[in-house]
Each structure stands twice: as structure tokens, then as C-alpha cells.
């Protein structure tokens, strides 16, 4: 089998969340961070004929780059990656599932208390502001259909802050969701965001069939 560009982009993105990956038979890929605060699921264009474990996903991706137009032939213990002519090939061995950090079950997202759209442009501005100001958190507040996204040092009330306002569905009670920007390891693009008082967020890509569930910081608040 050959891997589509869509599948390769998902694999590269998932490698930034966790170097481990357990691939199941079919076209759905799931990963979870070592801290278990990020879970991602994607339906890709390629369908895998069997399940197999990869301990170092970055290494596996680099192996695919060793040959032109890699073709994958699966065996019980390994996969042979070779070019179309069969002249160049790599034998890559699988890792047992018990050595990997992998999701054991899906997340059932609660009904979101807050919903809004996050464009790629806004996300890039937030990340740039975090880099310029030296902050690592974004707080999400708002009311009356206006959502305030603020990059700030939550431990310093007099710190410099950068805010962007977007429209959305806001709850009737005060709230402050706090997210670590380092956890926003998501593909570029526009997202539909849902956030729950249970301190879990859902990032659903508008064009690619990939969804991320990211835990909010424990310092988040919801209600009086």
C-alpha cells in the first residue's frame, strides 16, 4: 500500500503529540499524549490492512523518506518499505502494544457550555503573541455572544496581555477556561471549538476529518 499525503500529514502531526502510535486495522488513527491531557482521532485516506505498533513515529516517518514513492508491504512482525522498482527497501519492525502509550477508549464529549470558531489566522496570532510576550497560557472568557481570547501570565495581574475577540455561544454564568498554548498541537486550519464545564475542550477541524480533545488547566473556573 501507499500512504496518501493526507495520511502522512496526520502522522507528522501525531508525532508531535506522542512518539508512540498503535495503528489499528482500517483508516482511523488515534493518539494520546504521555500526560494523557491530549487525545486526537483522525479518519485518513489510507486504509491499513492490519494493526501494528510504532515506538518512534518520527523515526518511522523518516524511514518512509528513505525511498522514492514508498510502498508498504506488511508482515506479522514488520513492514517492508520499498520504492516502486523494489531496488531500495527498508525492513522496519513493529513494537508490542504494551510498550506504547495509546488510548484505551474514546472520549465522550459533554454538551459544550461554550462554542466558537477558531480560525487559523487567530490561532497564529495567539501563538505569536505568546512567543513575543513570553507567556504560555491563553484564557478564554466572555459574555453576551462575545468570546475573549487572551494571552497573559495568569500568575501576574500586571503582566502584558494580548486579546482577540470572536463571536460565539457563551454561557449565562461567568467562566474562565485556561489552556496551555503548548498543548495546542493541532494541524493548521479553521476549527469549531466546544468547551465544557468539565474542563475538557474539543477542537474539530472544518476541512480535515480530525478532532482533538484537550484538557483545560485545573485553574479554570466555571460559575460563581
DSSP letter (8 states) at residue 216: P
Predicted confidence at residue 224, as pLDDT, reads 76
Q: Does domain 5-99 have CATH number 3.40.1350.10?
A: no
Predicted confidence at residue 51, as pLDDT, reads 95
pLDDT band at 24 (very low <50, low <70, confident <90, very high): very high
Predicted confidence at residue 124, as pLDDT, reads 96
pLDDT band at 138 (very low <50, low <70, confident <90, very high): very high
Predicted confidence at residue 44, as pLDDT, reads 96
Predicted confidence at residue 180, as pLDDT, reads 96
Q: Does domain 114-222 have CATH number 3.70.10.10?
A: yes
Beta bridge partners of 216: none
pLDDT band at 155 (very low <50, low <70, confident <90, very high): confident
Q: What is the DSSP string of 53-90?
A: EES-HHHHHHHHTTSSS-EEEE-SSEEEEE-TTSSSEE
Choice among 1-5, 83-87, 102-106 with the minimum mean pLDDT: 83-87
Predicted confidence at residue 126, as pLDDT, reads 97
Fold equal for 5-99 and 114-222: yes
Ranges of each domain in the chain: 5-99, 114-222
Predicted confidence at residue 34, as pLDDT, reads 94
pLDDT of 154 > 90? The answer is no
pLDDT band at 42 (very low <50, low <70, confident <90, very high): very high
CA 76, CA 49: separation in Å to the nearest integer?
11
Predicted confidence at residue 80, as pLDDT, reads 95
C-alpha distances out from residue 91 to 23, 27, 83, 220, Å: 17, 23, 12, 48
Tell me how far the alpha carbon of residue 68 is from its chain's centroid.
Answer: 28
pLDDT band at 13 (very low <50, low <70, confident <90, very high): very high
Predicted confidence at residue 84, as pLDDT, reads 79
Predicted confidence at residue 208, as pLDDT, reads 97
Per the prediction, the chain carries an average pLDDT of 94
Predicted confidence at residue 107, as pLDDT, reads 83
Amino acid at each position: 500500500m501507499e500512504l496518501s499525503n493526507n495520511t502522512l500529514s496526520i502522522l507528522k502531526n501525531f508525532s508531535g503529540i506522542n512518539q508512540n502510535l498503535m495503528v489499528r486495522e482500517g483508516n482511523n488513527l488515534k493518539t494520546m499524549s504521555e500526560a494523557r491531557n491530549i487525545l486526537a482521532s483522525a479518519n485518513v485516506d489510507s486504509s491499513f490492512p492490519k494493526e501494528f505498533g510504532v515506538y518512534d513515529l518520527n523515526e518511522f516517518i523518516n524511514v518512509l523518506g528513505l525511498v522514492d514513492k514508498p510502498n508498504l508491504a506488511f508482515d506479522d512482525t514488520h513492514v517492508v518499505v520499498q520504492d516502486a522498482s523494489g531496488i531500495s527497501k527498508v525492513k522496519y519492525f513493529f513494537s508490542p502494544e504494551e510498550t506504547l502509550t495509546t488510548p484505551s477508549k474514546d472520549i465522550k464529549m459533554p454538551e459544550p457550555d461554550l462554542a466558537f470558531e477558531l480560525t487559523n489566522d487567530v490561532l497564529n496570532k495567539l501563538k505569536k503573541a505568546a512567543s513575543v510576550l513570553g507567556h504560555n497560557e491563553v484564557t478564554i472568557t466572555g459574555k453576551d455572544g462575545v468570546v475573549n481570547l487572551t494571552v497573559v501570565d495568569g500568575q501576574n495581574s500586571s503582566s502584558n496581555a494580548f486579546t482577540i475577540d470572536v463571536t460565539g455561544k457563551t454561557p449565562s454564568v461567568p467562566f474562565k477556561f485556561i489552556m496551555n498554548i503548548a498543548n495546542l498541537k493541532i494541524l493548521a486550519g479553521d476549527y469549531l471549538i466546544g468547551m465544557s464545564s468539565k474542563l475538557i475542550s474539543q477542537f474539530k477541524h472544518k476541512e480535515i476529518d480530525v478532532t482533538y480533545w484537550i484538557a483545560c488547566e485545573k485553574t479554570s473556573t466555571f460559575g460563581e
